[in-house]
Amino acid sequence: MWHPSLLCLLIVWFQIVRATDRNLLVNTKDTSLFEFYQDSFRMNAEPFSTQKDSSIINSDNIYEWTPVVSNITVGEQNSFVFNIDPESTGSGFAPTYEILMFLSGNLCSTPNNTDGIELRVHYSFDENLMTNTSNGQYEAFKDGFMEALAISPIQTSASNTTSKYQNLYVVVQLFNSTTNEPLTDEFLDPSQKDVWDYRLSISENDLVFQWDVRSWLDVLDTDHNSALLTTGNVTADAQVFYNYSTYDTSLYDLYVYSYEDSLKFEDGLSLSLCAIKNGPYLVSSVDSGRVSSSLEEEGLVIQKSIREGGGNGVSEYFYITGLNSSTTYAAILTKKIGKSGNLSDVGGVLFAKQYFTTRDTNTCSLIYDLHFCDGVAYSVPTSSFAYDNKTLIAETYDNIAEALFANFSKALQLIPCDAESDARYSPLRTCDDCSKSYGDWVCAVSIPRCTTTSSTYYMSRNKTKNRNKYIDIYVQPVSDYYEILPCIDMCHAIVRDCPSDFGFACPNPQYTNELLYYSYNYYKKGATLDTCNFIGNVSNLVQVE
């Protein structure tokens, strides 16, 4: 009879051995090194190898990987063995014919001069790869990124399903890209050995390191010390419950670099997530990200928030403060891989750079997150009554628009909105549609979008002669400015969506062309700047050539 305590020890020992067998293994002569890495990538380096580090990410069943944190110099060879486990392929997805193994990696840093040198990752199911790399395939790091796919057929029996191959062998080594020969340190002084720092991961489910050619960012606007950026539609990233959805603001992060430092990545590291996350950035939402929307923040921080833009879906906003005036910055977006509540801090998606430039003066002030005009997210003429208080500026404009809308709202109540469909003013539109369109329009015409950039598309405004008298009285801009006129589409929307009883009409280019271009503009396709200001569902925005 087994003693209970002894039986428990045997069970624990068996679980440890089983867990170890399912991780990455290596043939090594150094047993102490093997013990140190028994829960991660096992590695065997040739003489002169540098110390390596590794970590395991506690991810969900879909994304299960073990990234290697390592470096290499000329004359070295790093070797790895990946134990193939058919059971770990996907969550609820059983392999039918073959097992896919995704190899991916990043270069975190490289020597100054890498001309003619490339870091290659050789891989094969043949163990002879460890002594002769010609026995396998390889992929080289390009612009700081590498990816490869290894495919192992499966074998099915009556009792189980196994892989045809048990291990995937990997060798990392520096090569001369011209001669295709490994680089040696035969004539190299040890003090001259330059280090290549890299990350490498293998997964049976996905690429741990990824990149996207899109920036996935839009610069909504800037002023002299802040900028507002937004992601694309992130609705698909929501965690959906019965009647509501939640969004994890830690899914996306933003790194802001000076223009000069951002150019350094163009020399071989432009696709490296690792290089971006560990580079000389000025600020990131990882370090300073706050889930808030305070317009009074003056420090160099990034505030994050989730916004729903009517029919435009859901986006994540990044409000960056503490910037210098007349300065160009590079914003770089990253995305974690995983599901909400179980996101990995290692690996992820790197998006392309998005540049933006701050204004030279405080003629315009960037505001957003208004109570009534929630679609306003741009710079407005700075009020002389609230020179350094963007919150008060936002409240002033918002109150003007809301007061103007109140009168219309009362008039709309006289319309039989709840009548039968055949008795309503339109079988296609409702009073809610009218209210929304009019609200967007009144916000756009009462809260002018301000810029200091001169353009034939923009209207020059004297600080004492603004779009309406309310701005003259309650705002009194500090300086002359250029107004980005509202898009004519918003005027067309209220004519389309509201009852004809109101008599709404828009300027006709054939008869009132001067009035049209003094009050509105068109959205010009392919223009390098915003030719008009639009609030509302962008699907209703008509682009003209």
Calculate mean pLDDT across residues 88-98. 56
Rounded distance, CA 270 to CA 438, Å? 46
pLDDT at site 525: 86
Q: 15-19, 66-70, 208-212, 306-310: which has the minimum mean pLDDT?
A: 15-19
Name the β-bridge partners of 378.
367
pLDDT at site 20: 36
Supply 461's token pair.
């405004």
pLDDT at site 100: 87
pLDDT at site 261: 98
CB 303 within 8 A of CB 366: no
pLDDT of 124 above 60: yes
pLDDT in tens, 262-318: 999 998 999 999 999 999 999 999 976 566 668 988 899 999 999 886 667 889 999
pLDDT of 518 above 80: yes
Residue 131 or residue 191, greater confidence: 131
Rounded distance, CA 70 to CA 54, Å? 8
Strand order across the 137-140 sheet:
43-45, 77-83, 167-176, 117-124, 137-140
pLDDT at site 47: 32
Name the β-bridge partners of 209.
348
Q: Percentage of the chain with pLDDT > 70?
A: 80
pLDDT of 71 above 50: yes
Cβ neighbours of residue 12 closer than 8 Å, sequence gap 6 or more: none
Residue 512 or residue 466, greater confidence: 466
pLDDT at site 28: 33
Calculate mean pLDDT across residues 90-102. 65
Q: Which amino acid is at 437?
A: S
pLDDT in tens, 444-491: 999 999 999 999 999 999 999 999 999 999 999 999 999 999 999 999
Chain mean pLDDT for the chain: 83
pLDDT at site 310: 60
pLDDT at site 31: 31
Residue 194's pLDDT band, with cuts at 50, 70 and 90, is confident
CA 173 to chain centre: 32
* Residue pointed to by tokens 């808030």: 292
Residue 414 or residue 258, greater confidence: 258
* Most confident range, picked from 283-287, 388-392, 525-529: 388-392
* Residue pointed to by tokens 């055949």: 422
Residue 319's pLDDT band, with cuts at 50, 70 and 90, is very high
pLDDT at site 403: 96
pLDDT in tens, 349-360: 999 999 999 999
pLDDT of 44 above 50: no
CA dihedral 52, 57, 58, 59 (to 10 degrees): -160
CB 196 within 8 A of CB 110: yes
Calculate mean pLDDT across residues 133-146. 95
pLDDT at site 32: 32
Residue 16's pLDDT band, with cuts at 50, 70 and 90, is very low
pLDDT at site 9: 38
pLDDT at site 192: 52
Q: Can you give the pTM of this predicted structure?
A: 0.83
pLDDT in tens, 195-221: 999 999 988 888 999 999 999 999 999
pLDDT in tens, 457-468: 999 999 999 999
pLDDT at site 87: 67
CB 101 within 8 A of CB 81: no
pLDDT at site 531: 94
Residue 7 or residue 298, greater confidence: 298
pLDDT of 499 above 60: yes
Residue 240 or residue 40, greater confidence: 240
Q: Output b/e per residue, 270-293; b: 16+ Cβ within 10 A.
A: bbbbbbbbebebbbbbeebbeeee
Q: Which amino acid is at 509?
A: P
Calculate mean pLDDT across residues 353-368. 97
pLDDT of 86 above 60: yes
pLDDT at site 53: 43
